[in-house]
Each structure stands twice: as C-alpha cells, then as structure tokens.
Structure 1
Amino acid sequence: MPELIAPTPRLHASWLRAQEEWGSEAHMDGAGPGYEDDVDSAEGFAAWTRRLHGYGDRTRPVEQGRVHASHWWIAEGDTYLGAIDLRHYLNGFLLDAAGHIGYGVRPSARGRGVATWALGAVLHEARILGMDRVLLT
C-alpha cells in the first residue's frame, strides 16, 4: 500500500532507479529537482531533500521564481514510486502552465491508481491549508 512521506535521503537509491526509468533528460513532475541540484551524491541528495522541506515553511523566503510548496514522495516501503507537490499559491507561470499540484509516477508504477490516490490525499492537505479551490493543468 503506498503512502505519502516527506522527501528523505533514505530513498536515494530507489529515487535514482526511478530517474533512470524516466531517462536522464526527462523532467520528473512533482519531484522538484533543479538543474543545479546534485542528486547523484549522497551529500547533494540530502541537501536537496532538506531544501524541499524548507519550501513548505512560509516564514522562510524562497528563491526567485519559486513559491512555497509542500512536497511528498509516494513510497511503498523503501521504493520511491513518485512525487507530488502542493503549491500554496500561484505566480504568473504557475497560473498559466502548472497549477497548484504537480505530480509524477515512475513508469514501472503506473497503471495502479497511484496518482489518483496521491491526488486525493493532497486535496485533503489543500483543504487543511484553507484552500477551497486548486488549479490542475
């Protein structure tokens, strides 16, 4: 049974296998790595997961072009299945192209209803944050 968990260095090896499934140049929707992020080394991966946690803290500023967002990974035990994020508000780009929620499921985990399940769970989180409407594109 899948669960939503906070991004964690514990799933580094599984995350890298998922990245291989997507392809090295593919954008892993919902996962949030930037081109400058070192996701290959253990240290870089741990730093990246800490940064993802920080984006959900509205008391801390975020980089230009980013918005505050909560990030979860869809996992089954020690297996990374995908990621989903909830952007707390939208900027112009997100309003036009991405919406409040971004998600992606690794190719080998598709067709099982994982994305539908995760979306339902994150819509519940949106209600908790006081969002009565979200935009999906």
Structure 2
Amino acid sequence: MPTLVEPTTAVHRSFLAAWDELEPADERWMGAHALDEDWTRARTEDPQEFARLVDAIKAEADENTQLPAGLVHQTVLWFTDGDEWLGRLSIRHELTPALLELGGHIGYVVRPSARGHGYGTEMLTQSLPWAARLGIDPALLTCDADNPASRKVIEAAGGELEDERHGKLRFWVPTTLS
C-alpha cells in the first residue's frame, strides 16, 4: 500500500522516471530549496548526487538550517509504493504573507502516470497527523479555481472553503479529530 515516507535513496530510478513525466513548471517539486543549488535531472542521475539531494530535502525541516530569504522550513514527504515514487507532499511549518494568501501549509504533486487513482487524497489524508505534530491545526490548502481534481482532494480530506483570492480557492483542513 502506498504511504508517505521521508525522502529515501531507495526510489532513485523511479524518482528520475517521474521527473521525466513532469511539465517544466512542475519540476520545482523535485529539488531542494534550502540550498542554493541547481538540482537538475541530469545531475541527480549520479547516485551520490541523488543522496545529496535527499539529504538537502530532509534538511529543509531542520529549524537550524539557514534558508534563503522568503522560504520557510518544510517537512517534505514522498508518497511511495515500495521503490516506486508516486508523489511529493510538503508541509510548511509557518506561513509568510504570500503563503497565507496563495500557497498554504500543504502542497503536493502526484506524478502524471499515477494520477486518477486517489493518491492525492491518500497523500493529503496521511499528511494530516504529520501537520498536527508540527502544531498546525487547521492547515491552509489552496488550489487553482479551475482545478476540480485538487478541489475534490482537499474537500475529501475535510477541507472547508473559506474564499477565493487571485484565482486560488482557500480551504482550511482540520489536522486533528475533534
């Protein structure tokens, strides 16, 4: 059964295959943002560089990691089924004004070949206890107003629509049972 896990080198081949499926605008989901480095698909073919990428992604959750201006600490989880990389989910530990307006606490992507199987809903549902342990309750999630699939995922996880801003729907999702 697919599950959220901390980033791991065990999914190296599948991670690269998933990267090849993504549109250029979605490639931002594949790298690490804490280090000012260019994480390219070609660079991460090298197993040692991929291991560095995994470590860099994990470091983004560490409050002692120095981040570039405008970024917040985040816990990144990968959705995997054995050694198959199916998606990525990020839980931002705090919200900047921009994230409060447009981004939210949790963002996710499902690799294109794995879409349509309910993985987005499962990823989000599995992430809520992680967010609760970080002291986030409720969590803000946003999606494009013209993205019914993402809206369905958020609503299936208990998301309550607050409003629409700048073409983004804003939902609050409880992370703990009341």
Q: TM-score, normalised by structure 1?
A: 0.88
Matched, 1:130 2:129: no
- Return the match for 2:49 from 44, 67, 72: 44
Matched, 1:88 2:57: no
Cα RMSD between the aligned structures?
1.9
Structure with a larger share of its residues in strand:
2
Structure 2 residue matching 1:103: 3-state secondary structure: strand
Cα separation, 1, equivalents of 2:50 and 2:102: 27
1:101 deviation in Å?
0.6
Check whether the contact 2:110–2:119 (CA below 8 A) recurs between aligned residues. yes
1:29 deviation in Å?
6.4
Check whether the contact 1:84–1:104 (CA below 8 A) recurs between aligned residues. yes
Q: Deviations over 1:12-54 (max 9, x none)?
A: 110110011114x231465444571143322222111101111
Unaligned 5+ runs, structure 1: none
Compare CA radii of gyration and give the structure with the larger one: 2
1:127 deviation in Å?
1.2
Aligned to 2:61: 56
Cα separation, 1, equivalents of 2:133 and 2:21: 34
Q: TM-score, normalised by structure 2?
A: 0.69
Q: 1:136 to 1:97 in 2, by over 3 A?
A: same
Check whether the contact 1:30–1:85 (CA below 8 A) recurs between aligned residues. no
Cα separation, 1, equivalents of 2:102 and 2:65: 25
Paired positions, count: 136
Structure 1 residue matching 2:107: 3-state secondary structure: strand
Check whether the contact 1:30–1:102 (CA below 8 A) recurs between aligned residues. no
Q: Percent identity?
A: 38
Cα separation, 1, equivalents of 2:94 and 2:29: 15
